[in-house]
Structure 1
Amino acid sequence: FYTSALATAHFLKTQASGCSAYIIGAHGLINALYEVGIPFNDVNPEYVVVGETTGYNYEMIIKATELINKGAKLIGTNGDMTSPSDRGVIPACRALIAPIELATGKKAYFIGKPNPLMMRTGLKKLGVHSEEAVMIGDRMDTDIIGGVESGMETVLVMSGVSNRENIQQFSYQPHYILDRIGDLVPKKAKA
């Protein structure tokens, strides 16, 4: 699995080696940035990086706004507006970034799907060509379009926001539709 947090860490490492970031996100994002040598900085970072988190609050929005107004660049790990959860559909990364964009007048650069940068980097890390890979995802507007635009076969799983009814509104379609990710592997016959 190549996550948007890993792609964000790789992007910042290759774009701005030695940079620092004010990070709004969960442990996966913080760890990914730390692993490539990008330290947390809430005073004068080059970047404000926003990912999905349940610890989001108004003080973080204020701090991010201040830092961006002082020159930090705004990065989003992914462009998902919503995400499925046990509580139903909840705000995701793009929704968390929206108040920061509105307050600063600056637009975030989103690293995750469907950004071709993430798709090409993931293929390179796997050591395969797009014809040899499959994009598996639960969203038509990021996962499946990312795969289609990268020349991969696509598998839509029905565990996310997209469903069999709303996929018909898109001009592109997945190659395969499965109820859940576990359906990728055939079940063993009982002896």
Structure 2
Amino acid sequence: MTQEITAWLSDMDGVLVHEGHAIDGAAAFLDRLCEKDLPFLVLTNNSIFTPRDLSARLASSGLNVPEDRIWTSALATATFLASQSEERRAFAVGEAGLTTALHEAGFVLTEENPDFVVLGETRTYSFEAITKAVRLILGGARFIATNPDPTGPTKDGPLPATGSVAALIKHATNRAPYYVGKPNPVMLRHAMNKIGAHSENTALVGDRMDTDILAGMESGLLTHLVLTGSTSRDEIQRFPYRPAHVHDSIADLVDLI
């Protein structure tokens, strides 16, 4: 029996946009979801920007995605922490996407006896802030990171991202972080809760085998890999798991909705 899909989760970079430009078929894909009145979220492991920022950036690429349809690793992290503890004190290393999400979840950001050290992505990591994070973790704060991505893309080439800085802190403290973003299924489960979706009727579109497809598979979703981002067709064979479907681009999914 064909699986009935009534909700969609889509990665952003490499699926809908590439280097600030909309990928062919992305606008038609989003329009079709709206025409069919299907719940959806656009996901990103990027914790630098707020959903409002990302909505504006997508709009500049010609894609209409309201901010309440964007789910970042920062939002997933704040939601997860709020569900795990009544204590709402955190020391955050990151930018507006992370600090805003934590504030909206009721956290006080402080260097004094925080319950959590939360590491996110930033374009200018401060050695002073990293040192403070190390000392707070050694003092008993729990170590959380928004996502494990070791590098992030820029027009000039890759730059160290959350996973790389987390490795530094882990080496200094001998404490491993808990990563909330993809490939952790927690990020997808909270996303589905937000739109009232169920795993057996939800599809995920991604461009990375090691984050998107792995998270979707472990969450029980129907997975679609597109080849406009990080994974080539030849690279699929290197992984011990497979996407349910492989497409040249998001344009191939428009008629499947």
The TM-score by the shorter chain falls in which range? Answer: 0.7 to 0.9
Aligned to 2:140: 71
Task: Call closer, same or farther: CA 1:53–1:69 in 2, change over 3 Å.
Answer: same
Aligned to 2:236: 167
Aligned positions of 1:2-13 closer than 5 A: 2-13=71-82
- The answer to which structure, 1 or 2, has the higher relative contact order (CA under 8 A, 6+ apart) is 2
State, as a whole percentage, how many aligned pairs show the same letter: 47
- Write the deviation string for residues 11-32 of structure 1: whole angstroms up to 9, x where unpaired: 1111122421111112111111
Aligned to 2:85: 16
**What TM-score does the superposition give when structure 1 sets the normalisation length?**
0.87
Does the 8 Å CA contact 1:77/1:110 hold for their aligned counterparts?
yes
2-structure distance, mates of 1:54, 1:70 = 27
User: What is the RMSD of the two structures over their aligned residues, measured on CA atoms?
Assistant: 1.9
Does the 8 Å CA contact 2:87/2:115 hold for their aligned counterparts?
no
Pick aligned residue for 1:129 from 185, 191, 198? 198
Does the 8 Å CA contact 1:84/1:161 hold for their aligned counterparts?
no
Task: Call closer, same or farther: CA 1:81–1:158 in 2, change over 3 Å.
Answer: farther
Aligned positions of 1:86-97 closer than 5 A: 86-97=155-166
Aligned to 2:130: 61
CA apart distance, 1:72: 0.6
**5+ residue gaps in structure 1?**
187-191
1-structure distance, mates of 2:107, 2:126 = 23
Aligned to 2:109: 40
2-structure distance, mates of 1:6, 1:95 = 21
Task: Call closer, same or farther: CA 1:61–1:133 in 2, change over 3 Å.
Answer: same
**What TM-score does the superposition give when structure 2 sets the normalisation length?**
0.66
CA apart distance, 1:145: 0.5
Does the 8 Å CA contact 1:49/1:75 hold for their aligned counterparts?
yes
